[in-house]
Amino acid sequence: MPSRSIVYVDGFNLYYGAVRNTQFKWLNLQHFFKLLRPHDDLQQIHYFTALIDGPSRPNQDVYLRALATLSLVDIVLGKFKNKTVTRRSAACTFAGSRLFQMPEEKRTDVNIAVFMLDDAYQDRCDHLIVVSGDSDLVPAVRMVKARFPNKMVTVYVPTRNPVRGAPVELRSAADKHRDLPLNLLHFSQFPNPLPDGSGGFIHKPSTW
């Protein structure tokens, strides 16, 4: 019997690690993971992200509309919250306050952890596939393995950065770990334009 699999995608980890500086931002996640796991019984793809502010927001909105057309994709939104940081650059000669407000993504790690444990307890899958390089997910992976030792956890790390791509704790906590195969991005793009399911079309952002 094919393994029932659920995928948990850290959206910003995937974007900054794998697609940001490529021509493959118009990514059909459902097709990508069917290519990646052709022998699995793919149950669902949870995509975790947060709505950004600034000039790139319209592109994000369009992409989320595209993802919403996919039957297996579930979009889970966190949020951004301002965090006070101190400017530490020795070259900075600004005489005023060295405290600045910086947006920080919140809830994504917790959301992933909660969904993983809930899916495991509800027995919705046999195999949990985590797409992230964030070591904050280690407790969630370990808890799933402690409570459900027969369930498989595989981690795919998106980035190729030698530092960020070496989350040793997260890789070690999982049953298996891999680098996310970037060669599949080319074969997993949405059509442009994309039918929206209501008689209209969704167009890929022109800057992509």
Q: What is the pLDDT of residues 45-74, one digit of tens each?
A: 999 999 999 999 999 999 999 999 999 999
**The amino acid at 186:** H
By C-alpha distance, which of 44, 105, 113, 114 is closest to 74? 44
Q: How far apart are CA 30 and CA 73, in angstroms?
A: 7
User: Which residue in 102, 58, 111, 98 sits closest to 81, CA to CA?
Assistant: 102
Model confidence at 201: pLDDT above 80: yes
SS (H, E, C) 160-171: CCCCCCCCHHHH
* Tokens matching residue 34: 């069917």
List, in sequence order, the alpha helices (H) in 37-147.
Answer: 57-67, 108-121, 138-147
Q: How large is the average pLDDT for residues 167-175?
A: 93
Q: Say whether pTM exceeds 0.75.
A: yes
pLDDT value, residue 164: 62
Which structural domains are found in the chain, ordered by start? Answer: 4-202 (3.40.50.1010)
Q: What band does 87 get if pLDDT is binned at 50, 70 and 90?
A: low
Distance of CA 156 to the CA centre of its chain: 10
End-to-end CA distance of the chain: 40
Per-residue pLDDT tens for 154-168? 999 999 887 665 679
